[in-house]
Each structure stands twice: as C-alpha cells, then as structure tokens.
C-alpha cells in the first residue's frame, strides 16, 4: 500500500458508516455499525434488501463521500455492505468528501485529497504506534471519525470495535479510545476504570483541562486533544493537562497574519478560532471567530438558533448560550404578558420540529428583557 492508496479495510468501514447513516435518514431506523474492519466484517455480509429509492440514495451518498462521478453500483436489491465496498475499492479514490453545517445551518461539503488524509493517518500511526485496538465512540462519517477510526486502524493493521458510553467494550491494554468531550464527561461521571496503557483521543471541541484531569484520575494513561475542523482536518495535538497545541508537520504559522496557517503546498488557511502563538509551532486557542459552540462534537451557532426561536408564536426576543451541562440554554422575552408555562409548553415541540438535537435548547429562562451587563452588553444568566 502506498500513501495514495485507500486501504480496503478503511473503504469497508467508511462504506458501512455511510450506508448506516443513509438508511437511518431514509427509514428512520438505526441499523448499527459494529466492527467493520477487514478482519471481522460481521454485518458487511448481511443483505441490505434495499428498494429502488433506497438503492439510489445509498449510491448517491457513497458517490458523494468517495467523490466518484460515475459509480457502476450493482442493481441488486440484496447487495451487501461488502459488495458496495468492493465496487468502490475497484476504483481509485483520489478525494474524500465530508459535510458540516455552516453558520446558516445549510450543510457544507469539504473535499480532501486522499493522499493528504493518509499522510495524516501515517503521522498518527507513528505517534501512537503501540496501539493494539481502536475503540470507536464516533462514526466514520465525519472527518475526525474517518481518519481516526477508519484510516488510522487500517494503517496500523489493528481491529476496530464500535461502542457507546453505556455499552463500552471492556478496555484492555493497548486500546486507543476515540471520542468527543461529551463522551469523556460521561465516562468521568461513570468513573470508568482503565487498565494500563490505554490512550484517549478527543476532538469536536476543546476539552476542558478540569474534565481531562478527572478522566486521567480514573487511570487513563494519556488523553490527547485534537484541534482541527472539517475544512482543514487535524491541525495540532495537545496532551492533557497542557494548554498548547503543537502543530502537525503539515502546518506552519503564517508570519504577520493572525489565525492563519500555511501548508506544505504554500496554501493559506484562516482558522475558525483566534489563536495565540507560543513559539514557532505551539498555539493556544482564544475562542471562535464565528461564535460557534460545540454540542456533542457538532458546531452550532447560538445567534442563528435564537433567530429561529423568535419565529415561535409568543416570543419577542431570544438569546442562546452553551450551558454548564454541555447543552444549549435559551433566555426568552415573551410578547406582552404571556404565561411563561404556556409559552414553554409551545416552545418545546416547536424546537423539536425546527432544530436538530444538537441545536435544541434544553433549558428555558424567561424575563422582560435580555440579560445585559452594566455596560449594556449581552450577559450570561444562571
């Protein structure tokens, strides 16, 4: 395998994740994604029994992710995940495309050269060479999960085990556990105990040092926070409890251009965060430029969500912030003298119908005016 070839094990895992996501969208059901590497394919050999519309949807989703213009997919309604993956593997996959929601809530696609992502996976393979198994708490449908739970284990030639926090596989020495901050917060509360030589990986939003230290106190050997985005892929790594990210070899700081990096090809990238350089290759994050926050590893935009809330009958103004529990909270100014209990009773089904789970406020506070500090600027609330 060269660094420009996409490993068959990675193709199979990504294919299974994409099909699972597409069928969940089309059928409203979760077919699950157990271990899908080349050594233990399990459900990849199970016929999917797709109807014509589902087959078309799956083909379109796979063509988009693997950036293939014309894929000769089998027309059989009983094709298996393995058969879909084998047809993709017969072609040269030069780019991979992932989606993320922009500040307007409209999905945006970001395409990456396969060679660049494999180079990143090889870099991580060098840094985590002792890994014997990957436990994936995230799917391989977004860039973080794709690199860490599909490309990296294929490069290392190690198995992948999918899990959830309630259904955490029994950890063992040599495991690399891939999750988001919410996963680590739950594991810390559950006081998950770890054997020796288990490493945790976190991304999808900065991991608070207090949380990281709580996880390490349960016996985890290392906890590494990955800074990156769907636009750039990984940018730097931070060992908890440190505060600075060390840039990956692909990147260097742009001189005289705040929050800007340059890659090996000389292309510049403006970061979504304000950064504070510390030395030639270390940076500290100082907050998002676009005011996004992360809920469950998903970027959400409080100002846009507040605008949606004002479309609910009886809401005059709204403000949205990230709460201490990792979910959004909303402050509502009612129209006239509306009963607050009645308004909240209308708001909850309204947000459930208009917003995806990560964007839904779970707590509502009401008052005659939006909170302000003594200088008249927006303020937080309890």
Give the domains, in start order, of the chain with CATH numbers.
301-366 (3.30.300.30)
Q: What is d(CA 19, CA 269) in angstroms, rounded to the nearest whole number? A: 32
The pLDDT-based confidence of 45 (bands split at 50, 70, 90) is low
Across 75-89, 154-168, 176-190, 245-259, least confident range: 75-89
Tell me, what's the pLDDT at 79? 78
Higher pLDDT: 322 or 286? It is 322
> For a pLDDT cut of 90, what percent of the chain falls above it?
50
Q: Residue 154's closest CA among 93, 195, 205, 207?
A: 93
Mean pLDDT (the chain) is 86
Q: What is d(CA 219, CA 198) in angstroms, rounded to the nearest whole number? A: 9
Using left for φ > 0, alpha for ψ between -120 and 50, and beta otherwise, residue 377 falls in: beta
Residue 359: pLDDT above 50?
A: yes
CB 357 within 8 A of CB 322: no
The pLDDT-based confidence of 37 (bands split at 50, 70, 90) is very low
Across 106-115, 228-237, 352-361, least confident range: 106-115
Residue 374: pLDDT above 70?
A: no
Residue 153: pLDDT above 70?
A: yes
Q: Mean pLDDT over residues 178-203, rounded?
A: 92
Q: Residue 235's closest CA among 275, 195, 196?
A: 275
Alpha-helical segments (H) within 28-74? 52-65
Which helix (DSSP H) or strand (DSSP E) does residue 300 occupy? strand 298-300
The pLDDT-based confidence of 33 (bands split at 50, 70, 90) is very low
Tell me, what's the pLDDT at 274? 83
Residue 205: pLDDT above 80?
A: no
Residue 36: pLDDT above 60?
A: no
Across 29-33, 110-114, 190-194, 376-380, least confident range: 29-33
Which helix (DSSP H) or strand (DSSP E) does residue 305 occupy? helix 302-309
Tell me, what's the pLDDT at 74? 54
Higher pLDDT: 195 or 278? It is 195
Q: In what order do the strands lie in the sheet with 175-179?
A: 160-162, 133-136, 175-179, 199-202, 222-229, 233-239, 245-247, 282-288, 273-277
The pLDDT-based confidence of 174 (bands split at 50, 70, 90) is very high
Residue 2: pLDDT above 50?
A: no
The pLDDT-based confidence of 32 (bands split at 50, 70, 90) is very low
Q: Mean pLDDT over residues 43-47, rounded?
A: 65
| Unique residue bearing structure tokens 């955490």 | 168
Give 38's Cβ-side CA count (13 Å radius). 16
The pLDDT-based confidence of 310 (bands split at 50, 70, 90) is very high
Tell me, what's the pLDDT at 175? 97
């Amino acid at each position: 395998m060269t660094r420009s070839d996409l490993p068959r094990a990675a193709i199979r895992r990504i294919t299974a994740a994409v099909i699972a996501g597409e069928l969940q969208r089309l059928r409203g059901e979760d077919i699950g994604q157990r271990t899908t590497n080349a050594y233990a394919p399990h459900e990849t050999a199970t016929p999917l029994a797709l109807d014509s519309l589902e087959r078309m949807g799956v083909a379109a989703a796979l063509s988009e992710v693997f950036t293939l213009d014309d894929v000769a997919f089998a027309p059989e309604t009983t094709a298996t995940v393995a058969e879909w993956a084998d047809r993709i593997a017969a072609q040269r996959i030069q780019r991979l495309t992932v989606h993320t929601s922009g500040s307007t809530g409209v999905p945006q696609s970001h395409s990456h050269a396969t060679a660049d992502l494999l180079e990143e996976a090889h870099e991580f393979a060098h840094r985590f060479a002792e890994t014997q198994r990957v436990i994936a708490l995230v799917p391989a449908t977004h860039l973080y999960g794709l690199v860490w739970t599909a490309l990296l284990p294929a490069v290392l030639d190690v198995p992948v085990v999918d899990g959830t926090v309630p259904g955490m596989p029994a950890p063992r020495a040599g495991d690399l556990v891939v999750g988001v901050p919410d996963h680590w917060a739950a594991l810390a509360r559950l006081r998950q105990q770890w054997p020796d030589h288990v490493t945790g990986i976190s991304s999808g939003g900065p991991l608070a040092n207090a949380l990281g230290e709580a996880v390490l106190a349960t016996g985890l050997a290392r906890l590494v926070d990955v800074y990156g985005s769907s636009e750039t892929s990984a940018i730097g790594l931070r060992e908890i409890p440190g505060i600075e990210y060390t840039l990956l070899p692909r990147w260097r700081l742009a001189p005289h251009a705040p929050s800007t990096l340059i890659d090996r090809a000389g292309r510049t990238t403006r970061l979504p965060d304000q950064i504070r350089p510390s030395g030639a290759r270390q940076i500290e994050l100082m907050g998002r430029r676009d005011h996004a926050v992360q809920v469950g590893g998903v970027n959400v935009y409080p100002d846009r969500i507040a605008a949606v809330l004002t479309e609910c009958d009886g809401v005059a103004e709204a403000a949205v912030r990230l709460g201490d529990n990792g979910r959004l909270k909303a402050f509502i100014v009612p129209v006239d003298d509306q009963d607050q209990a009645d308004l909240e009773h209308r708001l909850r089904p309204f947000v459930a119908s208009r917003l995806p789970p990560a964007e839904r406020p779970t707590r509502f506070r009401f008052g005659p005016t939006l909170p302000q500090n003594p200088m008249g600027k927006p303020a937080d609330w309890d």
